[in-house]
Amino acid sequence: MVKAADRAKNPARSSVWLETRTSRSGGGPAGLDRDRIVAAAIRMLDEEGLAKLSMRKLAAELNVTAMSLYWYVDTKDDIIEYAVDTVYGEIDLAAVDAAGDWRDRMRVLALDYRRMLVRHPWMSPCAGYYLNIGPHAIAVGGKIQETIRDTGLPMDRQPSAMSAVFQFVYGYGTIQSQFESRAAQAGMSQNEFYGESIKAFRDDPQFMEALEPMTDLLDERASHGSVTEIWDRDFDYALDVLVAGIEVMVARESAAGTGT
Amino acid sequence: MVKAADRAKNPARSSVWLETRTSRSGGGPAGLDRDRIVAAAIRMLDEEGLAKLSMRKLAAELNVTAMSLYWYVDTKDDIIEYAVDTVYGEIDLAAVDAAGDWRDRMRVLALDYRRMLVRHPWMSPCAGYYLNIGPHAIAVGGKIQETIRDTGLPMDRQPSAMSAVFQFVYGYGTIQSQFESRAAQAGMSQNEFYGESIKAFRDDPQFMEALEPMTDLLDERASHGSVTEIWDRDFDYALDVLVAGIEVMVARESAAGTGT
DNA sequence: AGAGTCCTTGTACGGTGTACGAGACCTAGT
DNA sequence: ACTAGGTCTCGTACACCGTACAAGGACTCT
Average pLDDT taken over every residue of chain A? 89
Quote the radius of gyration of chain A (alpha carbons, Å): 22
Q: What is the predicted pLDDT for the residue at B209?
A: 72
Q: Where in chain A is the domain with CATH 1.10.10.60?
A: 4-87
CA atoms within 13 A on the CB side of B128: 30
DSSP per-residue letters across A70-125 = TTT-S-HHHHHHHHHHHHHTTS-HHHHHHS-SHHHHHHHHHHHHHHHHHH-TTHHH
CA of A67 to C1' of C10 (A): 10
Task: Give CATH 1.10.10.60 domain extents, chain B.
Answer: 10-87
What per-residue confidence (pLDDT) applies to A9? 62
Q: Are A196 and A203 in contact (CB under 8 A)?
A: no
The count of other CB atoms within 10 Å of the CB of residue A38 is: 23
Q: What is the pLDDT of residue A225?
A: 79
pLDDT reported for residue B2: 43
> CB-based contacts of A172: which residues, under 8 Å, 6+ apart?
A114, A235, A238, B163, B167
Q: Compute the distance between CA of residue A151 and CA of residue A102 in angstroms, rounded to an integer.
A: 6
Give the whole-angstrom CA distance, residue B60 versus residue B238: 44
Give the per-residue pLDDT at B217: 72
Nearest-by-CA chain B residue for A138: B210
Q: Would you state the pLDDT for residue A5?
A: 54
Split chain B (260 residues) into runs of 10 and give each run's mean pLDDT: 54 78 68 94 97 98 97 96 98 96 98 98 95 92 94 94 97 96 91 85 74 72 83 97 98 82
CA angle B87–B90–B94, rounded 5-degree value:
145
Give the ranges where chain A is alpha helix by DSSP (H): 4-9, 34-48, 55-61, 66-69, 76-88, 93-98, 102-119, 123-129, 135-149, 158-185, 190-202, 205-211, 215-222, 227-257
- Which residues sit close to strand C, CB under 7 Å? A 24-32, 64-68, 70-72; B 5, 8-9, 29, 53-57, 66-67, 70, 75-77
**Contact yes or no for A108/A99 (Cβ under 8 A):** yes
B contacts of A233 (beta carbons < 8 Å): 160
Assess contact for B53 and B169: CB atoms under 8 A.
no
Parts of chain A belonging to CATH 1.10.357.10: 91-185+225-257
- At B1 the pLDDT is 35
CATH number of A4-87: 1.10.10.60
Q: What pLDDT is attached to residue A7?
A: 61
Dihedrals phi, psi of B100, to nearest 5 degrees: -75, -115
**Does B18 touch chain A if contact means CB atoms closer than 8 Å?**
yes
Which pLDDT does position B256 carry in this prediction?
81
Q: Indicate the fold that domain B91-185+225-257 takes in CATH.
A: Tetracycline Repressor; domain 2 (1.10.357)
Residues of chain A with confidence (pLDDT) below 70: 1-9, 11-12, 20-23, 25-26, 206, 210, 213, 259-260
Reported as a single tens digit per residue, the pLDDT across A118-128 is 999 999 999 99
Query: Which nucleotide is closest, CA of A24 to its C1'?
Result: C6
Class of domain B10-87: mainly alpha
CB A151 within 8 A of CB A250: yes
Burial label, A256 (beta-carbon count in 10 A; 0-12, 13-18, 19+): exposed
- pLDDT for res B21: 61
The answer to whether the CB of B36 falls within 8 A of the CB of B72 is no
Q: CA A41, CA A47: separation in Å to the nearest integer? A: 10
